Structure 1
Amino acid sequence: METEQRTVTANGITQAVRVAGPPDGTPLLLIHGNCSSSLFWEPLIRRLPPTLRVVAPDLRGYGDTETAPVDATRGMRDFADDVAALLDTPGLFDAPARPVVVGHSLGGGVAMRLLVDHPERVRALLLAAPVSPYGFGGTRDLAGSPTTPDFAGTGAGTANADFIAQLAAGDRSEDAQASPRAVLRVTYVADPASLGADEELLLDGMLSTATGDDNYPGTFVPSENWPGTAPGERGVLNALAPAWFRLADELVAVADKPPVTWVRGDADVIVSDTSMFDTAYLGSLGVLPGWPGDEACPPQPMVGQTRAVLERYAAAGGAYHEVVLPGCGHTPHLERPAEFVAELLALTDVPAA
């Protein structure tokens, strides 16, 4: 399928949305991850059957959507409210829309928030390498117990300053270790060859990220706890921090539980029990000095937490299906598109093209 880009006003902001397929097709909502945009869905959309109605928005502060501020104290709700407003925007879906919702990485957190707040609007959920239901970093066990009272080591203060500067500058080089292109090749996928001819398109999506205190990465405050920084109240990385994003119990308590498919790669270095973006794990490797040890500050068991919450979801009357792709990194819809499409179409009940 080919996409067209539209601009709509929803939830009080101007949103850019990629649309494909007939308006009366089976509805599918695609929510992209952090430091990307709806461009990251283009390679997938090309593989989908034309009977689907695909809507893929740019989240606020990404792509061509308005650079509206992110209130981190609402967790993923700013993003989820924006997306929820699209479900009733004329011309995008036939009303009333109840799409299959696909969320990648940060977008997985947005999708979970959407399900909690609007369960009647979600037909099924596909979580692709999603953030843990207990947020990113700062928790020590499968129950999401805080490592420190202020969730030190999470939020905007953990971001790489060189990467932020090069992102803001629109750097397309491949020389620097923290350049957006290098980060795309090394951390978004396990094998850079899987980016193929779409690498420049995907880099465009990364470089569309709005930087600053109200967007990426956000604000931070000093902490008495290692590594000396705690999440602030503004911006994207703080919205992901467990100080503000913790919806495990709410997810389990949803009364109308649609089926959930969880797709992840076993070579993911971003969302992992050994994440290279988790300060506690980096401390355990000696990359960050002063780590207080495993008893005081263990790495976050991200994958284990998600599985534990989904098992509780199933025990409470829902259903989930975990798909682990060997040798796959953080972006399974780019790296293993055939398997990903098969799982997606199984949720839509639409036959493969």
Structure 2
Amino acid sequence: MTTPDSLLFDGITARIVRTPRLAAHVLERTGDDTDAVPERTVVLVHGNVSSALLWQEAMLALPDDLRVLAVDLRGFGGSEHLPVDATRGLRDYSDDVASVLAELGIPTAHLVGWSMGGGVVMQYALDHPVLTLTLQAPVSPYGFGGTRRDGSRLTDDDAGCGGGGANPDFIQRLRDGDTSAEAATSPRNVFRSSYVSEGYSSPHEDVWVASMLTTSTDEGGYPGDSVASESWPGFAAGGSGILNTMAPRYFNAAGIVDLAEKPPVLWVHGTADAIVSDASFFDLNHLGALGVIPGWPGADVAPAQEMVSQTRDVLDAYAAAGGRVTELNWEGVGHSPHLERVDDFCNAVVAHIR
């Protein structure tokens, strides 16, 4: 089903694009040239527990001579709530995006990925031609949790990663459609504390929360299953569902270094990111080190994942292998540069793709 008009900004339209893989919900700008050449086509891919709705400000701020689309991934927004095969890493999502672009007659484009969407567009680039990549606060090329600085896995079963790490009360509040700010685990308060930096405010916060609440919590959706583990904290990644797609045994995009044709990469991130950092508050090993989760076995066994450093290492290797990389690390900005500094973000994307 398409997004209610009440959630769409003036100048944004929504439609369903039916592909052999899924019925995908796509946002577009009114008046964009649907026959635009790939060099003038920008495709925006959202992150976890969100949807294309969160791209609307950026869509409207980008120049009118571009064609701009934002795709809802499966299980989010108005796209079909199909289960995710996590054993394919993020490929279910990247293949879905490819199917949408094929249906729209877009052979390649400039791809912009945020958070989990950054991993989706990296995987897309491994499998399909891309003009440029913009990675905004992206998941590490080695996945989320459970790896050392060099990307090697801490345990054979990825203990502490995946679906078992999600907060049960947050999951229930997603199911209940909770729009309140009554608890720290409400989607609204998670947005305020984790998606953006302190001091951010927006008249569109209700739309951002509504976007989060479109996340499917059906089987194969958020967060995904888990299995018992002999290693701390007692569970490991299962084989289905959203969080398991980023477990390191299933997802590794460091192979972008070896691409024969290397699209230029823009990496935008902030120093106040609570989700993707070298000390992430969503990394159970870091929470163990802080004493939030009891029984932590120590840094020799369960070190926090150095997510930003891993991304920098891979992109440094990408540049050394002939790729072009631009890094923008914005002081005081959180997990959502495109919301916190929309004009700066859009200007950076335009300079990058041109």
TM-score range, shorter chain: over 0.9
Contact 1:22 1:50 in 2 (8 A): no
SS in 2 for 1:209: coil
Q: Give, in whole Å, the separation in 1 of the partners of 2:287 and 2:161.
A: 13
SS in 1 for 2:102: coil
Match of 1:208 in 2: 214
Contact 2:146 2:160 in 1 (8 A): yes
Question: Which sections of structure 1, spanning at least 5 residues, go unmatched?
Answer: none
Residue among 9, 14, 18 paired with 2:23: 14
Match of 2:153 in 1: 146
SS in 2 for 1:197: coil
Contact 2:75 2:81 in 1 (8 A): yes
SS in 2 for 1:317: coil
Residue among 141, 144, 147 paired with 1:136: 144
Greater mean deviation of Cα atoms: 39-48 or 269-278:
39-48
Q: Give, in whole Å, the separation in 1 of the partners of 2:174 and 2:66.
A: 34
Aligned runs of 1:57-96 on 2, under 5 Å? Answer: 57-90=71-104, 95-96=105-106
Q: Give, in whole Å, the separation in 1 of the partners of 2:320 and 2:278.
A: 24
Q: Give, in whole Å, the separation in 1 of the partners of 2:14 and 2:296.
A: 47
What do the CA deviations read for 1:247-277 (whole angstroms, capped 9, x no partner)? 21x2111111010000000000100000000
SS in 2 for 1:193: coil
Q: Give, in whole Å, the separation in 2 of the partners of 1:213 and 1:65.
A: 16
Q: Give, in whole Å, the separation in 1 of the partners of 2:198 and 2:338.
A: 13
Q: Give, in whole Å, the separation in 2 of the partners of 1:18 and 1:47.
A: 14
Q: Give, in whole Å, the separation in 2 of the partners of 1:49 and 1:247.
A: 31
Q: Give, in whole Å, the separation in 2 of the partners of 1:12 and 1:158.
A: 29
Match of 1:171 in 2: 178
What do the CA deviations read for 1:66-125 (whole angstroms, capped 9, x no partner)? 0011000000000000001122213xxxx453211000000000000000001x2x1100
Q: Give, in whole Å, the separation in 1 of the partners of 2:200 and 2:320.
A: 40
Question: Which sections of structure 2, spanning at least 5 residues, go unmatched?
Answer: 1-9
SS in 1 for 2:169: helix
Answer yes or no: is 1:310 the counterpart of 2:315.
yes
Give the Å deviation of 1:192.
4.8
Contact 1:37 1:62 in 2 (8 A): yes
Match of 1:327 in 2: 332
- Identity fraction in percent: 49
Aligned runs of 1:221-300 on 2, under 5 Å? Answer: 221-248=227-254, 250-300=255-305
Q: Give, in whole Å, the separation in 2 of the partners of 1:111 and 1:287.
A: 33
Q: Give, in whole Å, the separation in 2 of the partners of 1:318 and 1:262.
A: 13
SS in 2 for 1:322: strand
Look up the equivalent residue of 1:7 and give its one-letter code. Answer: I
Give the Å deviation of 1:48.
1.3
Q: Give, in whole Å, the separation in 1 of the partners of 2:17 and 2:213.
A: 22
Contact 2:24 2:100 in 1 (8 A): no
CA 1:335/1:227 → structure 2, altered by over 3 Å: closer, same or farther?
Answer: same
Residue among 193, 198, 207 paired with 2:200: 193
What do the CA deviations read for 1:206-258 (whole angstroms, capped 9, x no partner)? 0000003301001000100000010000000000111211121x211111101
Answer yes or no: is 1:41 the counterpart of 2:71.
no
Q: Give, in whole Å, the separation in 1 of the partners of 2:24 and 2:209.
A: 20
